[in-house]
Amino acid sequence: MSPRRTLRPRRTRAVVPILVGLVGGALLGGIGVAAGAGGPALTSQAVPATGAAQPGGTPAAAAPTTAAAEPAAPSCTGLVDAMSTRDRLAQRLMVGVDPSDPAAAVALVKSSHVGGIFVGGNPTALLQNGKLAAVQAASPTKVAVAVDDEGGRVQRIDALDGSMPSARVMAKTKTPDQVRAIAKTRAAALVARGVTMDFAPDADVSDQPANAVIGDRSFSNDPAVVTRYAQAFAEGLHDGGITAVLKHFPGHGHSTGDSHLGRVSVPPLAQLRTDDLLPYANLVGPGKPLHATGAAVMVGHLDVPGLTTDLPSSLTPAVYDLLRTDYGFDGMVVTDDLGAMKAISGEFALPQATVKALAAGADMALSSDVGPVTPTLDALQRALADGTLTAQANDRAVARILANKGLCG
């Protein structure tokens, strides 16, 4: 997702059994920025993520973390089985809402039972005076409420709760521990407004100029630095009660252009593995630092030689297989915006794109467009009936979404 104000507020295999490895916890959100030249040299090996570091990227000892004991979560299978087929499909949609019209957001979740809403744009009415609590009350199931709040050019609550520096500036001027504290404070402000998920940090590795599509949204052109700072930001969001979403898998930092404007290419898969993919290799999957936080991953709309063919990455099964199988990620996967980004909308209507993304392996399809949900839900029901989507895979995806919301385990 780009920092354009029209799309984002200022201020985008093997599947484990659903009762194993699902992550509990409240919904959280993720995007990042390129940092300075300091830090470890680029490496093709997965580098261990650490806790604190000096602004240049010098690692320090990781801070120990402890998890409070919680009651056993209910079975995700039971919650899924209790839902109608259409409600299960609706859980897989995150749709845009008009932030200036809280009543419309309430009506949307009440009528369609969507799994999530995206609060974009610049107006703040929906983020004030408990309006999002009314949205939750109108839904039979907890709603994921997502924003883009990375810092710098991409912020959502800066007019309400103050501004954060860009990822690149944070990596140059703050230690990872300081960034974690900044993210925790920001998360508390988001939670107070009713937000549950942040499409941040940006885990892209990039040396693009600051104002490029990724640019200063990336912590660094060094994957080791990106790994440390993305981990710190995501952990800070988790500390404050927000679900982080790392983006844009498999890596937008060296793209030929802006996927908001059309199809873009990135380096071949073999090159991504030694650079852009290292933050994911080091942070997600069983035993990795962010596994216990319930962080999600956003898949971008990218053409990747050696991985994709005729479709962008968000619509390509091999991309989800890479994330699930090669990197062992068993959490929730969401697409980048299918409705407003020309890499997708230039070729496919939203219902068609949504079917393709979910059939490829996404758990949740994001569209920032404010429009009727019925055509997309109808398309998903047809896809389930004709076998394009399978009931088993659909139920697994819904279970991951519910687990990400902290409703089951």
- Residues 347 and 64: their CA atoms lie apart, in Å, by 48
The pLDDT tens digits for 172-190 are: 999 999 999 999 999 999 9
Paired strand residues for 243: 28, 197
Catalytic residue among 222, 336, 337, 363: 336
Task: For the chain, give the mean pLDDT.
Answer: 87
d(CA 190, CA 127): 9
Kindly report, residue by residue over 92-120, the tens digit of the pLDDT.
999 999 999 999 999 999 999 999 999 99
Domain made up of 76-404: CATH architecture: Alpha-Beta Barrel (3.20)
Q: Which one is catalytic: 260, 301, 330, 363?
A: 260
Mean pLDDT of 366-390: 97
| Residue 72 pLDDT level (bands cut at 50, 70, 90) | low
Question: CA–CA separation, 318 vs 198, rounded Å?
Answer: 26
Residue reference for tokens 């991504």: 272
> How do residues 261-300 score in pLDDT, each as one tens digit?
999 999 999 999 999 999 999 999 999 999 999 999 999 9
- Each residue of 85-107: b (16+ CB within 10 Å) or e? eebbbbbbbbbbbbbebbeebbe
User: Looking at residue 24, what is its pLDDT?
Assistant: 37
Is 336 catalytic? The answer is yes
Q: What is the mean pLDDT of residues 364-374?
A: 95
CB burial string 2-13: b at 16+ within 10 A, e below: bbbeebbbbbbe
Q: Report which of 118, 79, 136 is spatially closest to residue 373, judged by C-alpha positions.
A: 118
87 classed as catalytic:
no
pTM value surpassing 0.75? yes
